[in-house]
Amino acid sequence: MAPTLSTISNSNTWDVKNFVVNEGHGVKGLADMGIQILPKQYIQPLEERITSSDVVSEEQSIPVIDLSNWKDPKVDNMICHAAEKWGFFQIVNHGIPIKVFENVKDATHRFFALPAEEKRKYSKDYSCTNNVRFGTSFTPQAEKALEWKDYLSLFYVSDEEASALWPPACRDEALQFMKKTELVIKKLMETLIKGLNVKEVDEDKESLLMGSKRINLNYYPKCPNPELTVGVGRHSDVSTLTILLQDSIGGLYVKKLGSDTWLSVPPIDGALVINIGDALQILSNGRYKSIEHRVIANGGNNRVSVPIFVNPKPNDVIGPLQQVLESGEKPLYKQVLYSDYVKHFFRKAHDGKDTVDFAKI
């Protein structure tokens, strides 16, 4: 029987988690019912909520790098400097048509507007492939409090597989976004690798740095008590590099390196947010930083974001690159199978930067 607004308000007697997670309604299903009070399953401990005293100032934020004159070596220096000191930056004038961004954001809204029965076909229990997964929160089975977010996660294998298995509501736009960002991703990676004294990116290196890609479509519905919960908890990405498209709503916060303060990442029309992931932190022996970030919930608007996670291949072994250690630097990380690293990340709740301990010597 469909729950009524009054049973929903009393989340002691109604199984919210079953409705949202197992029945595949997602948190959007909950928000669409018009709940006025946040169910207790979403109330985060105080230390996980972001307050104004945690934020430095709205004026200070991550670097914005203009790529219109990429031939200028200063641009390469800015990219490597941002990767070392901030772990996060935005790029503008990158040459990717804005229409591609608009299309994939519209497609994200279109997918999440589908009825629960349609979206559920792509959930872990029903999806005919591990490469397509609709879900909610992060790891509901391991989390003490749920996160206010639904997602569709698409692991790219080939155009043919995407055409056959990705949801028609968003597959062409997601694929187009991946294709149109390819060149920028390649150039960013070459710049970063040159900055590590690696002269040549051969086939093995290319696989390690960008052998696989995953695109997520994130949906954060309007929330009745945004101050009590989070959109995404504190984490760093397990990718080498993440390319993130956010809409105009805002809500992404990034930890300032070496401090306990958080900076908001303001939406800039036409910009992409770039961040270093754990795999590149490990490969660079800690020179490039994968930085903790999180997303707040929003009381006034629905929000979407679309990250492309650029990764090693699942079967690659990652550890500090030999070229980085040539100068006599001591390795900080051991060699680990990348899929073991990712499985470790996905089997626990978000816990800030703790995932990287898995690879520490």
Ligand X SMILES: COc1cc(/C=C/C(=O)SCCNC(=O)CCNC(=O)[C@H](O)C(C)(C)COP(=O)(O)OP(=O)(O)OC[C@H]2O[C@@H](n3cnc4c(N)ncnc43)[C@H](O)[C@@H]2OP(=O)(O)O)ccc1O
In whole angstroms, the minimum distance from the beta carbon of 123 to ligand AKG comes to 18
Residue 305's binding partner among ligand AKG, Fe ion, ligand X, none (Cβ under 5 to 8 angstroms by kind) is ligand AKG
Applying CB under 6 A, the site for ligand X has a residue count of: 25
Structure token digits, residue 309: 């996670």
Instruction: Give the relative orientation of helices 182-194 and 171-180 as an angle to the nearest 10 degrees.
Output: 40
| Contact pick of 35, 79, 174, 252 for ligand AKG (by CB under 6 A) | 252
Q: Which stretch binds Fe ion (CB under 5 A): 8-16, 175-183, 206-214, 232-240?
A: 232-240
> Is 147 among the residues that bind Fe ion (CB under 5 A)?
no
> Is 347 among the residues that bind ligand X (CB under 6 A)?
yes
> Is 333 among the residues that bind ligand X (CB under 6 A)?
no
Could you give the CA distance from residue 75 to residue 80 in angstroms, rounded to a whole number? 9
Tell me, residue by residue from 290 to 329, as one string, x for binding to ligand X by CB under 6 A and - for no binding.
-------------------x-x--x---------------
Q: Smallest Cα–Cα separation from 271: which of 104, 92, 65?
A: 92
Q: What angle do CA 87, 308, 118 make, to 5 degrees?
A: 140
In whole angstroms, the minimum distance from the beta carbon of 219 to ligand X comes to 11
SS3 letters across 255-274: ECCCCCCEEECCCCCCCEEE
Would you give the DSSP letter of residue 356? G
Would you give the DSSP letter of residue 21? I
Which residue number has the CB closest to ligand AKG?
A: 305
Residue 214 phi/psi, 5-degree rounding, is: -130, 135
Using the minimum distance from each CB to ligand X, give the nearer residue, 302 or 339: 339
* Chain CA centroid to CA 290, Å: 12
> Is 237 among the residues that bind Fe ion (CB under 5 A)?
yes
Locate the DSSP E strands across the chain: 64-66, 88-92, 132-136, 150-155, 212-220, 232-235, 241-246, 252-255, 262-264, 272-276, 293-295, 303-311, 317-318, 336-337
DSSP string for 85-145: HTSEEEEES-S--HHHHHHHHHHHHHHHTS-HHHHHTTBTTT-SSTTEEEEESS-TTT-SS
Inter-residue contact 240 to 283 (CB < 8 Å): yes
> Is 316 among the residues that bind Fe ion (CB under 5 A)?
no
Tell me, residue by residue from 208 to 237, as one string, x for binding to ligand AKG by CB under 6 A and - for no binding.
--------x-x-------------x----x
Residue 339's binding partner among ligand AKG, ligand X, Fe ion, none (Cβ under 5 to 8 angstroms by kind) is ligand X
Which residue number has the CB closest to ligand X?
A: 346
Using the minimum distance from each CB to ligand X, give the nearer residue, 3 or 251: 251
> Is 126 among the residues that bind ligand X (CB under 6 A)?
no
Q: Smallest Cα–Cα separation from 259: which of 40, 38, 55, 76?
A: 55
Could you give the CA distance from residue 35 to residue 229 in angstroms, rounded to a whole number? 15
Which letter, b or e, does each residue of 261-271 get, where b requires 16 or more Cβ atoms within 10 Å of its Cβ? ebbbbbbeeeb
> Is 246 among the residues that bind ligand AKG (CB under 6 A)?
yes
Residues whose CB falls within 8 Å of the CB of residue 140, separated by 6 or more in sequence, listed in order: 17, 20, 21, 146
> Is 181 among the residues that bind ligand AKG (CB under 6 A)?
no
Using the minimum distance from each CB to ligand AKG, give the nearer residue, 308 or 321: 308
Tell me, residue by residue from 242 to 281, as one string, x for binding to ligand X by CB under 6 A and - for no binding.
-----------------------------------x----
Q: Which stretch binds ligand X (CB under 6 A): 47-55, 201-209, 257-265, 335-343?
A: 335-343
Q: Which residues bind ligand AKG (CB under 6 A)?
A: 216, 218, 232, 237, 244, 246, 252, 293, 295, 305, 307
Q: Which residues bind ligand X (CB under 6 A)?
A: 124, 130, 133, 135, 138, 151, 153, 155, 212, 214, 232, 235, 237-239, 277, 309, 311, 314, 338-339, 342-343, 346-347
